[in-house]
Structure 1
Amino acid sequence: MMRKIIITGVKGGTGKSLISFLLLRELVNTKRVLFIDLDNTLTVTRLLGILHLDDIFNNDYNVSSWTYKNVSIIPLGVANQGKLQEFPKAYMDLVEDKDIIMIDSSNITNPVLSLEAKLSPQSELDLILVTTPQSISLKRTIDTLLSFKTIYPIAPSQKLVVLNMTKEEVQELQNDIPFVKIPFIKELFLKGISAESCEYPSILASIRDILYILDLTKILGDNNGNKRVY
């Protein structure tokens, strides 16, 4: 069964797209991935050099796709009615030969999420909600996680909270929700995200923790079929 990973949150500025980018970078080493970029500023698409920020702000792009080796990208951003109508064809042209669908969405109510769910109802779903550790943001995130089945038509097989930019120790979340902590790094916070800024060992270790918790390390192997060990 095809795996689907939705990475989203309840507020902006959580570093969600950096996490999406690093997970994508790991997965495409050995798996064929369809990446749907629903982030408001298409951060992953820009990191990959597919679109310029001016194109996004001017809404000067169509629903098209970009494919290189193991990854295909559909950049949508803020979807208007025209893009919603174009999406199904672009999606169906690419999804059939993929192992994993990844969706980076600025919010959980993006209409493309429900549309995509109807196009691939049999996928096994992993849900990652990214937040910062402030109590209000964390509460909204957990409330969303617990009520997800009322928002999205497919129940997730696995749910995970990522606490990004964490300065203090968090021991557990309510309802025993699994979580991964990513430490606060001042240099990254000040400089912003770039392809060169994604090499901090502590962040990469947290990305591998995410893969392990979601049981994705079992499907990652090298080109000879050997399993990669983290």
Structure 2
Amino acid sequence: MTPTSWLLLQRELRLAMRRPVDAGLPVAFLLLAACLFPLGLGPEPEQLRRMAPGVLWVLALLASLLSLHSLYAADAQDGSLDQLLLPPHSAWRLAAVKALAHWLSHGLPLLLATPLLGLMYGMHSDSLGLLMLSLLLGTPSLSLLGNLAAALTLGLRNGALLNLLIVLPLAVPVLIFGSGAVGALEAGLPVDGHLSLLAALLIGALLALPAATAAALRIALI
């Protein structure tokens, strides 16, 4: 990471620490929603354990979308976004750092809260470890997708709703392979294919989405 990128990352993390409610809201949503599912599905342990990977992956996806509208909106309102895109700064670098900061401040707390919820749903240790690994591979892709959606809807009315409509269809493959890895393990099937596809999706997102986000930012500020 270059010194400029490191300074940008420090700035983003400091701004996130000044808004603890924005960073804590996804975790609170994940915990509360996960606690409500057993009330609706019933207390049968085997059913909860079987549904836990899909439930936790869906909740992690929805929780990661709660703060997307603020990724670029505050910077655009106070004019700092224009300054950050001036030379020698790079729009690609800004987009990549924004996605990394979003994952560190929102995706990583969700990942750390997952073991508690997995134990609450009665997941076995090996299944819980695989779920953590799948989230580790999949949640950065969600942050990159959300970063692109936030840039595409910058300055638009009802941008938060449009973010959901953009990200949710694109995130379906990540959701399928992430939750499917744990299901394959519990069925006694190989899980390497699911993890490889998650890693491939992450690599593709890292290569393509920051550049697409940079282009969307330039268009939004014209």
Shared fold by TM > 0.5? no
TM-score scaled by length of structure 1: 0.30
Task: Answer with 1 or 2: which has the greater Rg.
Answer: 2
> Higher helix proportion, which one?
2
TM-score (norm 2): 0.31
